[in-house]
């Protein structure tokens, strides 16, 4: 159980991390078309089992199906995603990079460090959230995923979302946002506006924001403020302590 001093220390640390991350002062928050995503043959984790077992069955399926399509065959291993099966918040990125390919874990490189700072600024730890990508294997030379690669990998992501059923999804960058919201609109127009993941009976709020790698490449006051403003909307919706 946290003491009051612990709680005050935690809030002070969050303020500090937020300022370091975004270069802006911490601003306290105010109080206050369906479509078919394909489900490939054989992607049916055992019905009636809990989310942990279903997620594990899906992970084993991803291992067995790797590399999913010939253009991903230069990848070393699949990168399934990680986090608690009952996570309230799920981040969806684009595709594993070199370090993710080496380790089999999502977001462990420079973009991952920035993502961890964002998570900390929300008052959470990495282990509190689920982190996944659309692509479950690294594309050659880290290029943007092709439509074929997205189609080959996306059903695993859809199934992951169906199992975890987070309260909120944050999409990181254009490919993830376009797939999750099934739109061709650009990320600059979509970011900061709530959308919805609609799949079968599921309706999950989606907050699109810039990819941390984009944030690192364009580390301006304006971009940092935009990302933090997007993230604050999620903090508010989830009623996180930093709100
Ligand atoms: N970029 C992504 O989109 N995903 C990762 O896992 C790493 C970098």
| Rounded Cα gap, residues 101 and 108, in angstroms | 10
| pLDDT band at residue 48 using 50, 70 and 90 as cut-offs | confident
Q: What domains does the chain contain, in order, with CATH numbers?
A: 49-237 (3.40.470.10)
* CA of 5 relative to ligand 1 center, distance in Å: 36
* CA of 214 relative to ligand 1 center, distance in Å: 11
* CA of 51 relative to ligand 1 center, distance in Å: 24
Which atom of ligand 1 is nearest the CA belonging to 173?
3
Residues with a CB atom less than 6 Å from ligand 1: 93-97, 100, 106-107, 109, 111-112, 133, 213
Any alpha helices (H) in 73-130, and if so which ranges? Answer: 98-103, 110-121
Could you report the per-residue pLDDT of 129-187, keeping only the tens digit for each?
A: 999 999 999 999 999 999 999 999 999 999 999 999 999 999 999 999 999 999 999 99
Residues in the chain: 243
Which of the 8 DSSP states describes residue 36?
A: P
């Amino acid at each position: 159980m946290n003491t009051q001093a612990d709680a005050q220390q935690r809030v002070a640390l969050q303020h500090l991390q937020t300022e370091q991350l975004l270069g802006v002062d911490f601003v306290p928050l105010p109080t206050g078309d369906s479509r078919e995503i394909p489900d490939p043959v054989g992607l049916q984790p055992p019905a009636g089992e809990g989310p942990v077992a279903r997620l594990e069955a899906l992970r084993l399926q991803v291992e067995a199906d790797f590399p999913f399509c010939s253009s991903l065959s230069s990848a070393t291993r699949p990168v399934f995603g990680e986090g608690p099966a009952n996570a309230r918040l799920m981040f969806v990125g684009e595709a594993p990079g070199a370090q993710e390919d080496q380790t089999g874990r999502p977001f462990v490189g420079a973009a991952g460090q920035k993502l961890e700072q964002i998570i900390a600024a929300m008052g959470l730890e990495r282990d509190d959230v689920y982190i996944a990508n659309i692509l479950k294997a690294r594309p050659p030379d880290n290029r943007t995923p092709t439509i074929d690669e997205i189609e080959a990998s996306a059903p695993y992501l859809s199934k992951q979302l169906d199992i975890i059923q987070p309260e909120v999804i944050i999409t990181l960058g254009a490919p993830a946002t376009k797939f999750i919201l099934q739109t061709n609109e650009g990320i600059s127009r979509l970011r900061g506006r709530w959308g919805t993941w609609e799949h079968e009976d599921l309706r999950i709020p989606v907050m699109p924001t810039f990819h941390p790698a984009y944030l690192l490449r364009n580390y301006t006051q304006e971009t940092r403020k935009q990302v933090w403003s997007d993230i604050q909307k999620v903090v508010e919706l989830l009623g996180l302590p930093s709100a």
